[in-house]
Amino acid sequence: MFSGKKVLITAGPTYEPLDPVRFIGNHSTGKMGFALARCLAQQGALVTLVAGPTALALPHPLVNLVPVMTADEMFAACQAVATEADLWIFAAAVADYKPKDTALSKIKKNEASFTIELVKNVDIAATLGQQKRPHQFAVGFALETDQELENARGKLLKKNLDMVVLNSLRDPGAGFKHDTNKITIVKASSVEAYPLKAKDEVAQDILESIKAEWACLQKK
Ligand code: CTP
């Protein structure tokens, strides 16, 4: 099913610079998005992987890796390929906010306290979701601590996604910095919980679930 399909994947964190040496970021390693890129490329998909700063190597020789730093750069790289892509997978942990201003030189510690004004970043999944066409399939991720299912369902609607992969921070071994993950896949009409597995195996489960849902949508 994935052979010859064009796939856009976002992965990793974004870094939002404060000055030339400092940034606001998060602990995402990019492992889940890279595992998905590798599995899809192995199945013949044409993958563009737009990744924030990670320590990971190219996951497969045929993956087109586009390295970016900020949410704005990630959005621009996604926009360049989104219309052509059949499948969008938003696995990146995009920083929700960025500093309003970036200093051109290193900020010195002259003051006793220091306040940073932050402004909202573009929501890549939601913005592209507004232009999604019926043949395109979009997958988002959600990392929640409370009211997980309700929040995941909210993201399906708000971002026009076909599927949300939910990780709960309450589950040991799930989420950031682990080689394992424990997910629940939330679709408009179903919820399926999976056991703790290696991220490569989790990627296979996600792809199987995409296949099933996508086939259903194409029949409609
Ligand atoms: N996402 C995105 N662009 C953003 C923020 C999030 O593309 N600026 C995508 C993520 O890649 C993920 C999904 O949206 O697939 C949900 O991200 P999450 O951070 O859980 O949700 P938010 O919309 O940021 O909501 P909140 O942090 O308030 O839960």
The band of 177, judged by pLDDT with boundaries at 50, 70 and 90, is low
Q: What separation in Å is there between the alpha carbon of 126 and the centre of ligand 1? A: 8
With a 6 Å cutoff on the Cβ, whether 74 touches ligand 1 is: no
Q: Collapsing DSSP states into helix, strand and coil, what is residue 33?
A: helix
> Of all protein residues, whose CA lies closest to atom 28 belonging to ligand 1?
96
Single out the catalytic residue among 26, 64, 151, 160: 26
Residue 26 annotated as catalytic: yes
Q: What separation in Å is there between the alpha carbon of 130 and the centre of ligand 1? A: 15
- 133 in any annotated domain: yes
Helix 199-219, helix 31-42: angle, nearest 10? 60
* Residue span of the structural domain in which 105 resides: 6-219
With a 6 Å cutoff on the Cβ, whether 125 touches ligand 1 is: yes
Structure-block tokens of residue 165: 């992969």
**CA neighbor of 211 nearest in space, from 195, 194, 193, 187:** 187
With a 6 Å cutoff on the Cβ, whether 92 touches ligand 1 is: yes
How confident is the model over 2-61, as pLDDT tens digits?
999 999 999 999 999 999 999 999 999 999 999 999 999 999 999 999 999 999 999 999
How confident is the model over 138-158, as pLDDT tens digits?
999 998 888 889 999 999 999
- 104 in any annotated domain: yes
Mean pLDDT of 159-168: 93
Residue 120 has pLDDT above 80, yes or no: yes
Atom of ligand 1 nearest to the CA of 92: 11
Mean pLDDT of the chain: 93
Please give the tally of structural domains in the chain.
Answer: 1
Would you state the pLDDT for residue 174?
65
- From CA 177, how far away is CA 200, in angstroms rounded? 14
Instruction: Enter the pTM of the model.
Output: 0.95
Residue 77 has pLDDT above 80, yes or no: yes
More confidently predicted of 71 and 173:
71
The band of 176, judged by pLDDT with boundaries at 50, 70 and 90, is low
In a mutational test of the pocket of ligand 1, which residue from 94, 98, 145, 206 has the highest number of ligand atoms less than 8 Å from its CB? 94
The band of 219, judged by pLDDT with boundaries at 50, 70 and 90, is confident
- 71 in any annotated domain: yes
Contacts of 80 (CB under 8 A, 6+ apart): none
Q: Collapsing DSSP states into helix, strand and coil, what is residue 181?
A: strand
Would you state the pLDDT for residue 41?
98
Residue 2: which H helix or E strand, with range? none
With a 6 Å cutoff on the Cβ, whether 143 touches ligand 1 is: yes
With a 6 Å cutoff on the Cβ, whether 90 touches ligand 1 is: yes
Choice among 15-24, 74-83, 176-185 with the minimum mean pLDDT: 176-185
- 1 in any annotated domain: no
Would you state the pLDDT for residue 58?
97
Strand order in the sheet with 137-144: 64-67, 46-51, 6-11, 87-90, 137-144, 163-168, 183-187, 190-193
Residue 180 has pLDDT above 90, yes or no: no
Would you state the pLDDT for residue 143?
87
How confident is the model over 100-117, as pLDDT tens digits?
999 999 999 888 999 999
With a 6 Å cutoff on the Cβ, whether 142 touches ligand 1 is: yes
- From CA 54, how far away is CA 35, in angstroms rounded? 13
> Of all protein residues, whose CA lies closest to atom 9 belonging to ligand 1?
125
Q: What separation in Å is there between the alpha carbon of 80 and the centre of ligand 1? A: 20
Structure-block tokens of residue 215: 């086939």
Burial of 181 per CB tally in 10 Å (0-12, 13-18, 19+): buried
The band of 175, judged by pLDDT with boundaries at 50, 70 and 90, is low
CATH number at residue 143: 3.40.50.10300
- 58 in any annotated domain: yes
How many other C-beta atoms are found inside a 10 Å radius of the C-beta of residue 74? Answer: 27
- From CA 54, how far away is CA 69, in angstroms rounded? 10
Residue 165 has pLDDT above 90, yes or no: yes
